[in-house]
């Protein structure tokens, strides 16, 4: 019996420590990591330079609504040419299985417009995640 008490105390301590990361989001209680997820895309040209952009649009094709603008976090420097699409702040903008999101931007120097489709999941997940789609869009 004395050997079972330390094991029981260890299990209670483990469940107590994990309870701080549980989220209640209308999808049931789940244990999530404390990490914070961002999803973005890199816009570049064929010379691996990052042209200035205009008319950047992001549209959830399931809801036909533009994505909610994401605030760039303080003290985080993303690589040049990186455009933030979404973060965990916008997890409810996406379904759990993932939504197709149309990303479009125009190169300000050449007026060429490029478009890509990314599948982004959220909903009942702990974090937003990119299910498919390119990591970068390359202007000619």
Q: Is residue 6 part of a domain?
A: no
Question: Residue 43's beta-bridge partner residues?
Answer: 137
Q: Is residue 115 part of a domain?
A: yes
Which region, left, alpha or beta, applies to residue 135 given φ > 0 means left and ψ of -120 to 50 means alpha?
alpha
Least confident among 18-22, 67-71, 74-78: 18-22
* pLDDT attached to residue 29: 84
Task: Give the tens place of pLDDT for each residue, 111-139.
Answer: 999 999 999 999 999 999 999 999 999 99
The answer to whether position 57 is within a domain reads yes
Q: Specify if 123 maps to a domain.
A: yes
pLDDT at 1 exceeding the cut of 70:
no
Compute how many other C-beta atoms are within 10 angstroms of the C-beta atom of residue 125: 20
Model pTM?
A: 0.76
Range of the domain at 113: 29-139
CA distance 64 to 113: 20
Domain presence at residue 113: yes
| pLDDT > 70 in the chain, percent | 81
DSSP helix/strand/coil, 101: strand
| 21: confidence class by pLDDT, cuts 50, 70, 90 | very low
Residue 13, pLDDT above cutoff 90: no
Write down the pLDDT at residue 26.
Answer: 66
What gap in Å lies between CA 36 and CA 91, rounded to an integer?
A: 11
Helices and strands, counts by H and E, the chain: 1, 10
pLDDT at 5 over 70: no
Q: Model confidence over 27-53: pLDDT tens digits?
A: 788 888 889 999 999 999 999 999 999
Number of structural domains (the chain) is 1
Please determine, for residue 68, whether its predicted confidence score (pLDDT) is greater than 50. yes
The distance between the two most distant Cα atoms of the chain, rounded to a whole number of Å, is 77
| Structure tokens given for 38 | 């961002």
Domain-embedded: residue 12 = no
């Amino acid at each position: 019996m004395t050997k079972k008490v330390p094991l029981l105390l260890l299990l209670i301590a483990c469940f107590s420590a994990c309870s701080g990361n549980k989220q209640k989001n209308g999808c049931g209680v789940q244990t999530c990591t404390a990490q914070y997820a961002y999803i973005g895309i890199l816009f570049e040209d064929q010379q691996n330079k990052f042209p200035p952009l205009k008319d950047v649009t992001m549209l959830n094709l399931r809801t036909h609504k533009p994505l909610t603008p994401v605030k760039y976090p303080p003290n985080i420097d993303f690589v040049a040419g990186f455009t933030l699409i979404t973060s965990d702040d916008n997890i409810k903008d996406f379904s759990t299985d993932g939504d197709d999101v149309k990303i479009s931007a125009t190169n300000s120097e050449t007026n060429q417009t490029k478009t890509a489709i990314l599948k982004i999941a959220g909903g009942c997940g702990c974090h937003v995640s990119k299910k498919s789609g390119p990591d970068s869009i390359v202007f000619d």
